[in-house]
């Protein structure tokens, strides 16, 4: 009886019916997927990263396939927070699932402005902060590379909204647990990891990088062992919930993340290949738990650490 498994998880004041979320940048604003699955089946979904103003993004080519993965340099193209609230949110606000807004900025004040605007929107359950973006006032170094920047930013955002704040970490750092600890001590309600891993593909005929942006972020099945390892490390260091993301394409990998220490997981690139993969993964996880006689998914969070 697969249905007797308890899939629900709690993060701060939100209860998710299951731990499966769709990852930012891979799920549009949600309604684009309505044709392919019942969005109400999901624990939640995270919309494309929002900035203060509409952003056009990078010049093409923006993507290139790699073995079991892809590089992207979309350049955070999005409609901006105001159009999101006025045009996109009305299309999804009545869904019976959690909508999480992903935000980014080029300086602290921009994050704060977006967070304050979203704080007024009842339909937004939580805010995920993308810190894998350059801090213009600090010479363009990524916010997410420096524990102090992450601490300050998290603190500011926490004071601009009552909604739970999830800090989404970049793997392109020396020690990701240090950054996770900074987010925790600044009051983050959770951390999500990992964002994409920076990479490059060279077009050998043209003798130059394939992507117009030169570098791009690697995602897809190829990166999952990196994500699992990082979740495992961070779990040993912090006490707030972890959301695992990176290369999840089936329920076995999803379970690996949970056993490494993730309370919830996000599915990204896999949505491009099978638009209803999230629903398949939910089903697969239920079946696994039921087969293993595990009553609740929360029973196996961090299970891999007991050895």
Ligand X SMILES: Cc1cc2nc3c(=O)[nH]c(=O)nc-3n(C[C@H](O)[C@H](O)[C@H](O)COP(=O)(O)O)c2cc1C
Which positions are catalytic? Answer: 133
Residue 28 touches which member of another protein, ligand X, none, C-beta under 5-8 Å by kind: another protein
67 lines the binding site for another protein (CB under 8 A): yes
Alpha-carbon distances, residue 226 vs 59, 171, 232, 245 (angstroms): 29, 8, 10, 10
Indicate which of another protein, ligand X, none lies near residue 196 (CB less than 5 to 8 Å, by partner kind).
ligand X
Bridge partners for 165 per DSSP: 127
Among another protein, ligand X, none, residue 246 binds (CB under 5-8 Å by kind): ligand X
**Rounded least distance, CB 46 to ligand X, Å:** 7
268 near ligand X (CB under 6 A): yes
What's the burial of 33, exposed, middle or buried (CB within 10 Å: 0-12/13-18/19+)? buried
Question: Site for ligand X (CB under 6 A): which residue of 51, 154, 170, 195?
Answer: 195
Annotate each residue in 272-301 with x if it binds ligand X (CB under 6 A) or - if it does not, as one string: ------------------------------
Count of CB atoms situated within 10 Å of the CB of 141: 12
Q: Which of 19, 25, 105, 171 binds ligand X (CB under 6 A)?
A: 25
From the list ligand X, another protein, none, pick the one residue 57 interacts with, judged by a Cβ distance below 5 to 8 Å according to partner type: another protein
Dist CA 156 CA 112 (whole Å): 7
Residue 238 or 285: the one with the smaller Cβ distance to another protein is: 285
In angstroms and rounded to an integer, the radius of gyration of the C-alpha atoms of the chain is: 18
Q: What separation in angstroms does the CA of 213 have from each of 3, 67, 107, 238, 257? A: 47, 20, 21, 35, 31
Answer for which of 221, 227, 261, 302 binds another protein (CB under 8 A) is 221
Encoded tokens for 284: 């697969």
214 binds another protein (CB under 8 A): no
What distance in Å separates the CA atoms of residue 186 and residue 180, rounded to the nearest whole number? 10
> Within a 10 A sphere around the Cβ of 73, how many other Cβ atoms?
25
Q: How far is the CB of 224 from another protein (least distance, A)?
A: 10
Which of residues 11, 16, 23, 27 is near another protein by CB under 8 A?
27
CA distances from 181 to 44, 174, 277 (A): 25, 14, 32
- Binding part of the chain for another protein, among 28-36, 139-147, 188-196, 283-291 by CB under 8 A, reads 28-36
Residue in 117, 128, 142 with CA at minimum distance from that of residue 53? 117
Among 15, 34, 65, 283, which residue sits at the site for another protein (rule: CB under 8 A)? 65
The kind and range of the H/E element at 115 are: helix 108-119
Residue 49 sits in the site that holds ligand X (CB under 6 A): yes
User: Could you tell me which residues are beta bridge partners of residue 197?
Assistant: 218
Do 134 and 75 meet the contact criterion of CB atoms below 8 Å apart? no
**Which residue's beta carbon is nearest to the bound ligand X?**
25
Dist. CA 112–CA 159, nearest whole Å: 9
The first and second tokens of residue 231, run together, are 């979740």
Interface with another protein includes 272 (CB under 8 A)? yes
Chain residues in the site for ligand X (CB under 6 A): 23-26, 48-49, 72, 74, 76, 102, 130, 168, 195-196, 219-220, 223, 245-248, 267-270
Chain residues in the site for another protein (CB under 8 A): 25-28, 32-33, 56-57, 59-65, 67-70, 72, 74, 77, 220-221, 249-250, 269, 271-275
């Amino acid at each position: 009886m697969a249905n007797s498994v308890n899939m629900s998880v709690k993060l701060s004041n939100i209860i998710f019916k299951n731990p499966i979320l769709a990852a930012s940048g891979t799920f549009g604003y949600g309604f684009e997927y309505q044709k392919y699955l019942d969005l109400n089946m999901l624990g939640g979904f995270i919309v494309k990263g929002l900035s203060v103003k509409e952003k056009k993004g990078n010049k093409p080519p923006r993507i290139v396939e790699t073995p079991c993965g892809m590089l992207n340099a979309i350049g955070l193209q999005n409609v901006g927070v105001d159009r999101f609230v006025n045009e996109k949110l009305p299309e999804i606000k009545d869904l019976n699932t959690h909508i999480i807004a992903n935000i980014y900025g080029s300086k602290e004040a921009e994050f704060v402005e977006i967070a304050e605007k979203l704080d007024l929107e009842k339909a937004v359950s939580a805010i995920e902060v993308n810190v894998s973006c350059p801090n213009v006032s600090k010479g363009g170094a990524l916010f997410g590379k420096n524990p102090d920047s992450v601490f300050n930013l998290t603190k500011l955002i926490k004071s601009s909204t009552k909604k739970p704040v999830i800090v989404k970490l970049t793997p392109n750092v020396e020690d990701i647990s240090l950054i996770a600890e900074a987010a925790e001590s600044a009051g983050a309600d959770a951390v999500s990891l990992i964002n994409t891993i920076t990479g490059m593909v060279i077009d050998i005929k043209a003798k130059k990088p394939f992507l117009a942006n030169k570098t791009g972020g690697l995602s897809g099945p190829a990166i999952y062992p990196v994500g699992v390892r990082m979740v495992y490390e961070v779990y040993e260091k912090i006490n707030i919930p972890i959301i695992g993301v990176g290369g999840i394409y089936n329920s076995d990998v999803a379970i690996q993340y949970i056993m490494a220490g993730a309370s919830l997981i996000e599915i990204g690139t896999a949505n491009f290949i099978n638009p209803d993969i999230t629903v398949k993964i939910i089903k697969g996880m239920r079946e696994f738990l039921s087969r293993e006689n595990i009553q609740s998914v929360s029973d196996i969070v961090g299970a891999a650490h007991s050895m």
